Amino acid sequence: MDSFDHYMKHDLKIRYYGRYVDDFVIVHENKEYLKKLIPQLSEYLQTELQVTIHLRENIFATLQQGVKFLEQ
């Protein structure tokens, strides 16, 4: 997943990105921007790392709502 980290930070220039093992979070003020990223990220992960994004686990929340990250 190290190559994915570099892809996110250096190629896509995503400023607020964090990852733990195979879970990741992106913080951005534009929800539509985040939604448009999903196919691009999915393609990269499938092509380069042979892994898939579980689309049912995508969460779009405001900062006020928060996100439970890494919980079961």
Q: Look at residue 55 in the predicted model and tell me its pLDDT.
A: 72
Which tokens in the block code for residue 8?
A: 């996110």
* pLDDT tens-digit profile, the chain (72 residues): 899 999 999 999 999 998 988 888 898 889 899 999 999 999 999 999 999 988 776 777 777 777 776 665
Say which residues have a Cβ less than 8 Å from residue 72's Cβ, sequence separation at least 6: none
Say which residues have a Cβ less than 8 Å from residue 60's Cβ, sequence separation at least 6: 31, 34, 35
Q: Look at residue 72 in the predicted model and tell me its pLDDT.
A: 59
Looking at the chain, which runs of residues are DSSP E strands? 17-20, 23-26
Q: Is the pTM of this model over 0.85?
A: no
